[in-house]
Structure 1
Amino acid sequence: MLTDAQEHTLLGLLRDVAAAETSVELRRDVGGRLMRLLGADYLASYVWSPRGECFGSRVALNMSDANLTRYEQYFQFHDPITHRLQVYRRATCVEEVMSERDLMRTEFYTDFLSVDGLHHGLNYFAWSGQHNLGDLRLWRQRRHGPFGESERRVLDAVGAALTSALTRMAVPNAGPQPSAAWAALTDRERQVARAVARGMTDREVGETLFMSYGTVRAHLQHIYDKLAVRNRTELSRLLLQRAPDPA
């Protein structure tokens, strides 16, 4: 039985699902309300890119930007739980795929999760066929205890509505105009984009720009997200269309 406050939060959450216009807006607003509804302390949300083979399009609440950047550049490639959770098409507690004791022995826990205080996790991955549309990763501090079956069922129900909304948003659109999109990139992202457009592999980009392989992959995913492209071919085509850089 939900309390009056929880019912109010749930109604607001359903309004967010109906009103949101972008994936980032939807995951941020729904995730924030779910934190209050389920007693979570932290939220992270990403979208898996099968072409880039990495997670991008970050949304996060109550987590440090520096720690999440380390996740994107290194720890997502040394993550013992997320890909196991990703195969489930329902809300799943982290303890279902790895025991608390085993998780605490991993580098992923000691050098990433525990830095911000994450201990007990509950995840939902939205799928449309074989396409992953995004996820919600809710976490609690250790002292607040694990999520229970009632919280898992609530996330499952909300997740179904989230999946429907994300499926609607996944319809292709024209995307940003080339010059405007290029301006949204950081200087480092532009360097990576130019190198990739010249045909360099990820490892060649890293060697040329003095970056680790994981950093190159993270930059590339950010570029894909910002330019609304799906692969290197589309990136190269977009760069050919854009106006030249100012002198």
Structure 2
Amino acid sequence: MGGAMLRRWVGLDELAVTVVDPVAAPIDGATMVRRVDDLPDAPADILVIAVKPQMIDQLAPDYAARVAPDGVVASIAAGASIGSIARHFNKARIVRAMPNLPAQIGMGVTAVYSDDALSDAQRRTLDALFGAVGEAVWVQSEDMIDRFTAVAGSGPGYVFEFARVYVAAAEAMGFTPADARRIVLATVQGAAAMALGADDSLEDLRNAVTSKRGTTEAGLNALRQDGALEDLLKATVEAAYARAVALSRGE
């Protein structure tokens, strides 16, 4: 994820990017170094942590002196709490961010939170960084990062599974696997694009395609029978949230 986001950051105006990675291939627009000791002497205004959570305790002490006293440490390490990061950076302002998978293609959504007071300039820079990979949404508490993880972090997996079952249903209707996939994904893409570009509510959009005693009404009646769909989705995000909380606790 970090590498995919980096490729979109290097094109941002007035942003000098330096990457520490012992094995990464060169990236146009970024300064690549193999070791922390090879970093420029000037401290960083923003340090982005994009490693596995279990690596933070090992790596963070080497970077503590590399961040400006009033600088920002922004972590996209899943499950790593602000407290677990802040103990390594005494004076820096800690930001926790959670992008979801489509950030890799610039169509993601990222939840952003900080306990610390950020300057307007720092907030604008963070908006630019996370806006470069999709939508940036500032949330009101660190717990909302875990809730976001359940809804949007895991969300692409839910959509992929829904699409997989939808494709299987299309195949059962007689379409070839290739045509079924094309039809379903184009339908999902088109419906999402319409919703994003419309001022109408999702309910209004649904009603616009639903005629009395028509085919859509018949299908929706089956889909929503006995409230099963609502119950299923609620249980899905609640299970994911419970696991996100456990991961944040190191369980």
TM-score for both structures, normalised by structure 2: 0.23
* Higher relative contact order, structure no. (Cα contacts within 8 Å, ≥ 6 residues apart): 1
Pick the structure with greater CA Rg.
2
